[in-house]
Amino acid sequence: MSEGADQRRPPVLSASIVVFHPDLDLLRSTLRALAAAIRQARETGALSTASVLLVDNGSQDEAVVDALLQDSLNDAAPVDTITLRGHGNVGYGRGHDLAIERSAADYHLVLNPDVVMAPSALAEGLDYLERRPDIGLLTPHVVNDRGGREFLCKRYPSVGVLALRGFAPAWLRRPFRRRLERYEMRDLPEHEIAEGVPIATGCFMLARRSALQAVGSFSPDYFLYFEDFDLSLRLHRVADIAYVPAVRITHSGGNAARKGWSHRRMFLRSALTFFRQHGWKLW
């Protein structure tokens, strides 16, 4: 850490995970990895205290979810654990906002229930944000559960690129490979920090809470999909977004087109809202 950071108390972190009928095995892996990352961040002096808020938009067995939260985070104790429920299925962004509104931490982590972070992820991320007060949010290096790299940094989307990427078969995407790769910012060096990232995907967002508050956090206009795109663009009014490859995660989800027609309809509805609010780009 820098000399200035050493003279301050280590920061406080809150983290929120929104679930809706969660896969309990995936959630257990997410929580255990979060516990290990909290423990290592505390041991290295990058973190003082942490709280984890599980926002339950709907579970079949609430008692099992509560026990899983407590048992998985025992190794990171002391950690405050809070379950928020009774509000119904309010959507992804609004669910995280319920947690952010209750937080008084320096930093807030938006985390999917299908993400497993490396033990060093929080220590690396918090250290970077402490040294860079101009950065409001960072996005990590990501691989999928098969070991292939995912690209969470995005340029502003077009209707054509989203249609190709989300719904077109591989043979139809092939002639547009360069355009799709540019949208996914595959030109960024994999192992170098990059600042000025236009859009960060929401499965893992480590953010300065003051920056989230300054822009009103997630918008209620998005139930699911594109709430992270919208937040990223609004966040640029007050702070920068950075890709920090030392922060590493494994992500098991994604791809709305494979989740059935209800997810496709939500994706299309949110895409329409996004373009109406931020401007149309056809190609």
pLDDT of 8 > 70? The answer is yes
DSSP label of 12: -
What is the token pair recorded at 158? 């077009």
Cβ-contact 18, 92 below 8 angstroms: yes
Orientation angle between helical segments 92-102 and 227-235, nearest 10 degrees: 50
pLDDT tens, position by position, 44-60: 999 999 999 999 999 98
Specify the number of domains making up the chain: 1
List of residues 6+ apart from 226 with CB closer than 8 A: 270, 271, 273, 274
Quickly state the pLDDT bin for 30 (edges 50, 70, 90).
Answer: very high
pLDDT value, residue 4: 44
pLDDT value, residue 7: 63
Half-sphere exposure of 193 (CA within 13 A, CB side): 15
DSSP label of 219: -
pLDDT of 1 > 50? The answer is no
Domain assignment present for 41: yes
What is the token pair recorded at 167? 């719904």
List of residues 6+ apart from 246 with CB closer than 8 A: 120, 124, 125, 128, 141
pTM: 0.94
Q: What angle do CA 54, 56, 62 make, to 5 degrees?
A: 100
Domain assignment present for 176: no
Query: Could you give the C-alpha distances from 26 to 22, 68, 88, 114, in angstroms and in order?
Result: 8, 11, 22, 6
* Full residue range of the structural domain in which residue 13 is found: 3-155+188-253
Cβ-contact 203, 121 below 8 angstroms: no
Q: How far is residue 105's CA from residue 14's CA, in Å, rounded to a whole number?
A: 6
Quickly state the pLDDT bin for 150 (edges 50, 70, 90).
Answer: very high
Q: How far is residue 175's CA from residue 121's CA, in Å, rounded to a whole number?
A: 37
Domain assignment present for 198: yes
Domain assignment present for 207: yes
Q: Distance between alpha carbon 148 and the CA centroid of its chain, in Å?
A: 19
pLDDT value, residue 212: 98
What percentage of the chain has pLDDT greater than the value 90?
89
pLDDT of 141 > 60? The answer is yes
Domain assignment present for 89: yes
Among 233, 229, 209, 231, smallest CA distance to 218 is for 231
Among 270, 277, 152, 129, smallest CA distance to 209 is for 129
Q: Quickly tell me which residue has 């995970």 as its tokens.
A: 17
Cβ-contact 119, 46 below 8 angstroms: no
Domain assignment present for 119: yes
CATH number at residue 33: 3.90.550.10
Domain assignment present for 175: no
pLDDT of 5 > 50? The answer is no
Q: How far is residue 44's CA from residue 119's CA, in Å, rounded to a whole number?
A: 12
pLDDT tens, position by position, 160-201: 999 999 889 999 999 999 999 999 999 999 999 999 999 999
Domain assignment present for 274: no
